[in-house]
Amino acid sequence: MNLLKTSVLNGVAVLIKTATMFLLNKILAVYVGPAGYAAIGQFQNFIQMITTFAGSAVNTAVVKYTAEYYADEKKQRTVWQTAGSIVSIFSFIFTFLVLIFHQQLSFWIFKTGDYGSVLIWFAVFLIFFNLNALLLAILNGKKEILKLVFANIAGSLFSLIVTGLLAVKLGLYGALVALCIYQSLNFIVTLYLSYRSEWFSFSYFFGKIDSDITRKFLAFAAMALVSAICVPLSQMVIRSYLVHEYNATYAGYWEAMIRLSAAYLMLVTTTLSVYYLPRLSELSNIQEIKKEVYLGYKFIFPLAVVGGTLVYLLKDWIIPLLFSSAFLPMRELFLWQMIGDSLKIGSWILAYLMLGKAMTKLFIGTEIIFACASIVLTYVCTKIFGFKGVSIAHLVNYALYWSVMGYFVFAVLKDRESRFGKE
């Protein structure tokens, strides 16, 4: 499946997901407000960290090796069985830990014990989070894009229905519970779609853990775990800093800005994960890799630029439409955020090459450095520019990140090519 066809199919799913996100943003803006946004952002970051530690760390490797072993079904099954067993074991371990420490976690995440029961909901449904993610990774690696699209559409609709209903009925508490349970409903759909595939059998996902496959997983798991710590934790630190320096409402403005960025960039980021990762995993020749990267900058990067420009020009219309008039102070973030988003996509085209080629040391090093840089830059820029400094920091950080990616990624590839060539 080529880039254009993948983008078109993804476009359908992304349009639906974007529409549901816009509707959800409106519902949440009305029923939880800016301060509630900040709490939701904190909890989402926590979920991201825990699900990764509980098994989702192997999913990038599952995509890579499912694609790489496309002609060897036996090897694919070994990959799935090892991944399924790892996911199940670690999911149950973290379910147990969250259940034990749910009250303490509530104080850490929300600064109050009122949401301890939300953590219980999350623990109960954690296994379904990770099994759903595993099946989606397999569908991605098998390049069953149509089924992947249907699964993503189902996830979007469940997210809208469950979150919308619970937020309207129970406010912030309901929105937090919805984050815990809607993925389990999506798992039913993903399981059904996978079950209808010729390659599917329940026995392929549980059993012996293969030591060779596990070793291959380790590099990807290390990258995923570092990313799961660095990115969400840096966002949680920044959000806490904004609450302390300004207040929870201003932290909510920033969270709304992040969610808007994620929504309009969704076509771009989904295409990167669905098309680029399996495609780059297949390629070994550096010239072919360069050609694929060039296509990314030819077709994907301009989409980000155009999307960001439109969002900026329409900001005074977008804010009251998608959020509410209470969010109008976030308009000062738009210019810097949109420029930073374009730079982010430019850098991510190369970052996905890092993932596809398992450049573990480079990935881990850059993730740690630039997560720390985002915190430091936020502190410095807000002191100089005020609240808009949080988005200026975003711009500066990704400008630096892209520069580093541009130099080191191809340096590593050339080094590998020269070494293997000599051997």
Dist CA 168 CA 325 (whole Å) = 19
CB 110 within 8 A of CB 39: yes
Distance CA 165, CA 174 (A): 8
User: Residue-wise pLDDT tens for the chain (423 aa)?
Assistant: 555 666 666 667 777 877 888 888 888 888 988 888 889 989 999 998 998 888 777 888 888 888 888 878 888 999 999 999 999 999 999 999 999 999 999 999 998 888 999 999 999 999 999 999 999 999 888 878 788 888 888 888 888 899 999 999 999 999 999 999 987 888 999 999 988 888 888 888 888 888 888 888 887 788 778 888 888 899 999 999 999 999 999 999 999 999 899 888 887 777 777 667 667 766 767 777 778 888 878 888 898 899 999 999 999 999 998 888 889 999 999 999 999 999 999 998 888 777 767 677 888 888 899 999 999 999 999 999 999 999 999 999 999 999 988 888 777 767 766 665 544
Q: What angle (nearest 5°) sits at the alpha carbon of residue 69, between those of residues 350 and 215?
A: 75
Neighbours of 178 (CB within 10 A): 25
Q: What is the DSSP letter of 206?
A: S
pTM listed for this prediction: 0.79
Instruction: For residue 377, give the DSSP letter.
Output: H
Domain ranges of the chain: 3-422
CB contact set of 419 (below 8 Å; sequence gap of 6+) = none
